[in-house]
Amino acid sequence: MAVAAPGQLNVNESPSWGSRSVDCFEKLEQIGEGTYGQVYMAREIRTGEIVALKKIRMDNEREGFPITAIREIKILKKLHHDNVIKLKEIVTSPGPEKDEQGRPDGNKYKGGIYMVFEYMDHDLTGLADRPGMRFTIPQIKCYMRQLLTGLHYCHINQVLHRDIKGSNLLIDNEGNLKLADFGLARSFSNDHNANLTNRVITLWYRPPELLLGTTKYGPAVDMWSVGCIFAELLHGKPIFPGKDEPEQLNKIFELCGAPDEVNWPGVSKIPWYNQFKPTRPMKRRLREVFRHFDRHALELLEKMLTLDPAQRITAKDALDAEYFWTDPLPCDPKSLPKYESSHEFQTKKKRQQQRQHEENAKRQKMQHPQQHGRLPPIQQSGQPHGQMRPGPNQPIQPPVGAGPSHHYGKPRGPSGGPGRYPPGGNPGGGYNHPNRGGQGGGGGYGSGPYPPQGRGAPYGSNGMPGAGPRGGGGGGYGVGAPNYGQGGPYGGSAAGRGSNMMGGNRNQQYGWQQ
Amino acid sequence: MLEAGKGEYANHGRQQLPETSQAELTLPRVLSVLSSTLEKLVARNEKLVDGLNQQLSCGSVRLGKSLNAFHGVRAPSISIPKYLERIYKYTNCSPSCFIVGYVYIDRLIHRHPDSLVISLNVHRLLVTSVMIASKMLDDVHYNNAFYARVGGVSNAELNRLELELLFLLDFGVVVSSRVFESYCLHLEKQMLSNGAGLKIERALVSTTVDDDNETDISVENNQSSSPPQIVD
């Protein structure tokens, strides 16, 4: 795949987007589903090429075309990199309705709009959750390096991803890792003066500065998420599985220590610092908790999980870390095991059975939520891990007839109550799905991306035009009192956030606390 | 005023909309410049259509169909300036949205040169493009339903127009600061050539408008209204 220069646009790419119908593709299998809509694996009839079709959900009439979709499309048009998912085209499906002349043309978008992506076999979460799956150290280094390379590319192109998590990292059978789901992404300027929403990034991967309410932030937010994923790969399970924001912060503080003006200059100026600051001293315990990690891994993780975003390592510097340049070196993606052939498709019936099988497996998993299927990596350095499983040196289990390990947006991990990610953080219905995971986890191509948006005037009161028509309007243009959306996230959220935020979770058992 | 913040015009503070009574006084100048530019364009295109119709004498000219979705049965009675003013007053979108909306319309014309902006479609084009611009630029913006009421079209129609415009633009909705600035300059020149004698208070760049060259981009002689071809 050719790498375009940064900023280069594929303006000449043909055919023109939107000109083709979804009928050019044959849907093979649904690979993602949920309340948000569907993602399909499909074959382009003319070329036989396998793609992923993501339907853009458009059922909120008042909002029109989802801004998340516009943003994702415009950003993906701009980005061309081996480690960023490629948006190939946009296709439409003609709706059943016809216009006055009986031509279906008039409603050509009624049926739906699909984004056509290159097909990827897995996402990182799904892959890691396979039974018996165990990543090797060179494999983890290989994935991490690709993740950082892709992210560095986004950052130098002034794009923040804002939803880095395992299920948004797609992996194909060539071992390539690509960033996907740019539905929350946005361009940023380097001056950091813009006010951005802090309601982004799935809770478990959300950095402390966002949890503390900052609205001025930059690429460091993505690097925190990368740190969480890195630790998760090494540790074998998510490290900060918070239920809500207060608990999330508490988990972070438990491991990384409490922030203060010494380790994080300026932290006391962040909006919610005073509400959230721990009531007791908390020491940084990262090195202690993860003492079994490889020295270079721990060193890099320390720099990623740095509380102060200004001191947190950048993607570029992380790529230069010793970790990637010491034995065992990252492996060549191509040398990674193939977990299933991308080109041999099973019969429909088999797929059906398989899906049934997966459903059952997942259902079982939900009944035993405390069990994590995730295993820590195979240590090749010699000394066994010792911590969690016997026989950490056993080779990778060959995949047994498992299909692509996509995470279908089903809850994973501690799924006692809600889905994978807790529903907190979106009070007042203002923003677009900050915690999209509320509907269930990821799903590769960005599964939760276009939920109904409840976006009035998010900040509520300021600058609303007065109601009622104000002169000017000629015939037919009268606007009665417009009912704009009221009540922004900040209106609703401040209350209830206060007193008991630190409660309830102090005695929580964490996986890494023994 | 034509504001073009050097970097992030998108976040270039929203125009503080004062109390209603004063709103008239503080309408951004971009509205009047844009109005007169579009009025000229429409007048010229209508003349063109009339001319062609007479020549052919067999009914209506076959123009490009790209803008068909935006055609009304008859022209709305509200003038372009009033319509723009209305959008601005009710939606409180930032003035930049009008520039960017204009960029969209201009891109449209360049992409589909056989399509003409005329009185039958200019209103719908405007409300749709300003709405999309606001979606792109303003973190705080009204939804389609609100824009539909302001614009005098149904919610469903505006949604359809939005999609139509997005596809006609091939989702080319990014406007770089450089392009934004060049459009500001162009509109400022328009203003001068109108003889309105309005000087724009310029928050943006140090370059001054070159009075001698004001006619180098002439709306009168071009098929489209526009200045620089956009290469983004």
Q: Which of A390, A414, A447 is the last residue of a domain?
A: A447
Q: Which residue has the tokens 């694996």?
A: A41
Distance CA A462, CA A464 (A): 6
Residues of chain A with pLDDT under 50: 1-14, 34-35, 98-107, 192, 341-351, 369-371, 381-403, 407-443, 447-514
Cβ separation B232–A9 shorter than 8 A: yes
Sheet holding A169-171, edge to edge: A122-123, A169-171, A177-179
Cβ separation B92–A64 shorter than 8 A: no
In a domain? residue A45: yes
Residue A254 and residue A385 share a domain: yes
Which residue among A123, A129, A163, A181 is the active-site one? A163
Residue A50 and residue A128 share a domain: no
Residue A307 and residue A247 share a domain: yes
DSSP state of B229: P
Distance CA A23, CA B140 (A): 37
Nearest CB among B7, B158, B163 relative to A191 is that of: B7
Residue A160 and residue A262 share a domain: yes
Q: Tell me what pLDDT residue A445 has.
A: 64
User: Measured between alpha carbons, how far apart are the two ends of chain A, in Å?
Assistant: 46
CA of B145 to nearest chain A CA: how many angstroms apart?
5
Ordered DSSP codes for A140-187 = HHHHHHHHHHHHHHHHHTTEE-----GGGEEE-TTS-EEE---TT-EE
Q: Tell me what pLDDT residue B193 has.
A: 75
The domain that holds A370 is classified in CATH as 1.10.510.10
- In CATH, the number for domain B25-173 is 1.10.472.10
Distance CA B156, CA A467 (A): 23
Nearest residue on chain A to B91, judged by CA atoms?
Answer: A465
Coil vs helix vs strand at B132: helix
Q: Tell me what pLDDT residue A194 has.
A: 62
Q: Tell me what pLDDT residue A201 has.
A: 86
Q: Closest Cα partner for B67 from B107, B11, B96?
A: B107
- Number of helical H runs and strand E runs in chain A: 12, 11
Residue A91 and residue A172 share a domain: no
Tokens (6 digits) for A184: 């929350």
Cβ contacts (< 8 Å) between B172 and chain A: which residues? 11, 77
A residues 479-498 lying closer than 8 A (beta carbon) to B: 479-480, 482, 484-485
**Strand A87-93 relative to strand A159-160: parallel, antiparallel, unpaired?**
unpaired
Cβ separation B17–A465 shorter than 8 A: yes
Q: Closest Cα partner for A278 from A246, A310, A306, A307?
A: A246
Residue A128 and residue A115 share a domain: no
The answer to whether the CB of A242 falls within 8 A of the CB of A228 is no
Cβ separation A463–B17 shorter than 8 A: yes
A86 backbone dihedrals φ, ψ, rounded to 5°: -100, 125
Coil vs helix vs strand at A112: strand
The answer to whether the CB of A413 falls within 8 A of the CB of A420 is yes
Q: Tell me what pLDDT residue A132 has.
A: 80
Residue A94 and residue A152 share a domain: no
Q: Which of A447, A469, A500 is the last residue of a domain?
A: A447
DSSP state of A29: E
Structural domain boundaries, residue A31: 22-65+86-119
Distance CA A108, CA A111 (A): 7
Q: What's the sign of the alpha-carbon dihedral A201, A203, A204, A210?
A: positive
Q: Which residue has the tokens 């849907």?
A: A27
Residue A266 and residue A210 share a domain: yes
Which residues, 6 or more positions from A511, have their beta carbon under 8 angstroms from its beta carbon? A235, A237, A239, A372
The answer to whether the CB of A339 falls within 8 A of the CB of A402 is yes
pLDDT tens column, A161-216: 999 999 899 999 899 999 998 888 877 765 545 677 787 788 999 999 999 999 89
pLDDT tens column, A237-282: 999 999 999 999 999 999 999 999 999 999 999 999 999 988 888 9
Residue A139 and residue A281 share a domain: yes
Q: Which of A447, A470, A491 is the last residue of a domain?
A: A447
Q: Tell me what pLDDT residue B205 has.
A: 30
% of chain A beyond a pLDDT of 90: 40
In a domain? residue A500: no
The answer to whether the CB of A296 falls within 8 A of the CB of A321 is yes
B180 backbone dihedrals φ, ψ, rounded to 5°: -55, -45
In a domain? residue A352: no
Task: Please give the torsion angle defined by the CA atoms of residues A392, A398, A403 and A404, in that order, rounded to the nearest 10 degrees.
Answer: 60
Residues of chain B with pLDDT under 50: 1-23, 199-232
Nearest residue on chain B to A75, judged by CA atoms?
Answer: B174
Residues present in chain A in total:
514
Long-range CB pairs of A360-366 (<8 Å, 24+ gap) are A362/A410, A365/A412, A365/A415, A366/A410, A366/A411, A366/A415
Cβ separation B92–A466 shorter than 8 A: no
CA of B148 to nearest chain A CA: how many angstroms apart?
9
φ/ψ region of B206 (left if φ > 0, alpha if ψ in -120 to 50, else beta) reads alpha
Ordered DSSP codes for A113-139 = EEEEEE--SEEHHHHHTSTT---BHHH
Residue A246 and residue A115 share a domain: no
**Count of domains in chain A?**
2
Distance CA A252, CA A199 (A): 17
User: Counting beta carbons within 10 angstroms of the beta carbon of residue A486, is it exposed (0 to 12), middle (13 to 18) or buried (19 or more)?
Assistant: middle
CA of B210 to nearest chain A CA: how many angstroms apart?
30
Q: Tell me what pLDDT residue A82 has.
A: 97
| Chain Cα centroid distance, residue A229 | 11
Q: A308 catalytic, yes or no?
A: no
φ/ψ region of A217 (left if φ > 0, alpha if ψ in -120 to 50, else beta) reads beta
In a domain? residue A494: no
Q: Tell me what pLDDT residue A362 has.
A: 63
Residue A173 and residue A102 share a domain: no
Amino acid at the residue A18 = G
Q: Closest Cα partner for A465 from B146, B225, B167?
A: B146
Distance CA B86, CA A4 (A): 43
Residue A292 and residue A211 share a domain: yes
Coil vs helix vs strand at A299: helix
In a domain? residue A210: yes
The answer to whether the CB of B158 falls within 8 A of the CB of B128 is yes
